[in-house]
Amino acid sequence: MVIELKADYTLTELELYSMSQMVINSGKDPVNIIKMSNYKDKYTIPFFTTRQNNLNAAKLQETATEIIIDHVIKRDELVTLSGPCCANFLKLKGYIKDAYPKSQHDAMNIAAGAHYYATAMNQNWESVSALNTAMIHFTTNPEKLTALLLNNNMKAAFPATILSNSNAFELGHNAFITARQTGTKTNNKITANNLVYSDMVDICADAQIALMDFPDLQKLFVMATLKDIISPPGSASYKLDAKLAVEFTQISGLLVKIQAEGQPAITLTTDATGIVNFENINPAKYTVTISGPGLTSQTFKKDVNSGTNAHSEVIVHPLPPPPPPLEPPV
C-alpha cells in the first residue's frame, strides 16, 4: 500500500501554478534580476529557467481528476473484455453437455471453471482470469479435447477463441491494475508541486531582502498579495451532485461539509434533486465530507478556484449489511 504524501501547500493547483508563474516572471525581469543577483549570485536567467522547467514538469503530471478518470475508463474496458470470456464458459458448458454423460456434467463443469463463473459475472476480475485459465486447461487437455470434438460437437476453432479472449482480457487487466495505482501517481504529482511551491517560497523570501529599499517591487513577491490577485475572497462556487449507487437516483438530505485548512467548515444539505450549491465561497483546496443515514460516508479533496464553477458528481453507496450472528458453540 502506497502512503500518500502530504502537500506542503494549501493552495489549489491553479493558484500554485499561476502564482509561481508570476514570481518567475517578476524574478527574471531585467530590473529585478539585477537587484536579486546583487543579493545572491544564484539569481541568473538559468536559475529562473530551471524554476520554469520545474513548473512545466509539475503541470504535465496527471491531475487527480485525470488519474480517477483513467482508472474508470480502464474498468469500463474490462467490463467489455470480460463479456466474451464469460460467454465462452456458457458455450463450453453446452459442449460438455453433449460430450459427456449426464452423471459427469457437474464434475466436468467444475473442471472447466464453473465455480468461478458467478463471481466473474459480478466483475471479479481475478475470477475472470481464473475462469479463462480453467477453460484453457480443459480445452487443451488431449483427452477432453477429443471428447469435445467427437461427432463435430465443438467448433475446432473454439479453444483458440478462448485463448484469444483470455489474452485480450489480461492485457486490459494489467492496464487496469496500473491505472489503479492512484497512490503512486498522486505522490508524483504532490512531489512535483511541492518543488514548485518550495521554489516560489524561497524566491519570495529572498526578494523581501533584496528589494527592501523598493517596497513597490517587494509587493510582486508577497504570497498573500498574489493569491488575492488570482483568487479574490468570495469569488468561487462549488456544486455537488449526489446519486445512489446502482440505481443512480438522486439523494436528498445528505450532509455535505466543505472545509479549507485553517478555516471554519461550511455544511449544507442536498436538495430534492440530490444537488447542493456553495455560493460565494473563498477559492481554496477544500476537504469535502458526505454523510447520511444508512450510507457509507465519503471524504475527498477538491480544488475550488475563482470563477471556474467547480463541480463534483458523487456516487454514494449504502452501508454494507451487518455480518451474520455467530452460531452458539455446540
Q: pLDDT grade, residue 180 (50/70/90)?
A: low
Q: pLDDT grade, residue 318 (50/70/90)?
A: confident
List helix spans (H) across 181-288: 182-210, 215-218, 223-230
Architecture per CATH, domain 236-316, reads as: Sandwich (2.60)
The pLDDT value recorded for residue 139 is 95
For residue 253, with 0-12 CB atoms within 10 Å meaning exposed, 13-18 middle and 19 or more buried, which class applies?
Answer: exposed
The per-residue pLDDT for range 235-260, each reduced to its tens digit, is: 999 999 999 876 778 899 999 999 99
The better pLDDT of the pair 309, 65 is held by 309
**pLDDT surpasses 60 at 228:** yes
**pLDDT surpasses 90 at 95:** yes
Q: pLDDT grade, residue 108 (50/70/90)?
A: very high
Q: pLDDT grade, residue 184 (50/70/90)?
A: low
What's the mean pLDDT in 163-190? 79
Is residue 151 helix, strand or coil? helix
The per-residue pLDDT for range 189-224, each reduced to its tens digit, is: 899 999 999 999 999 999 999 999 999 999 999 999
Q: pLDDT grade, residue 64 (50/70/90)?
A: low
Name 87's Cβ contacts closer than 8 Å, sequence gap at least 6: none
- 8 A C-beta contact, residue 290 and residue 238: no
What's the mean pLDDT in 289-315? 89
- 8 A C-beta contact, residue 227 and residue 20: no
**β-strand partners of 285:** 303
Where in the chain are the domains? Answer: 1-230, 236-316
Predicted TM-score of the model (pTM): 0.57
**pLDDT surpasses 70 at 276:** yes
The pLDDT value recorded for residue 110 is 94
The pLDDT value recorded for residue 69 is 57
The per-residue pLDDT for range 30-44, each reduced to its tens digit, is: 999 999 999 999 999
- 8 A C-beta contact, residue 251 and residue 244: yes
The pLDDT value recorded for residue 132 is 95
Amino acid letter for position 317: H
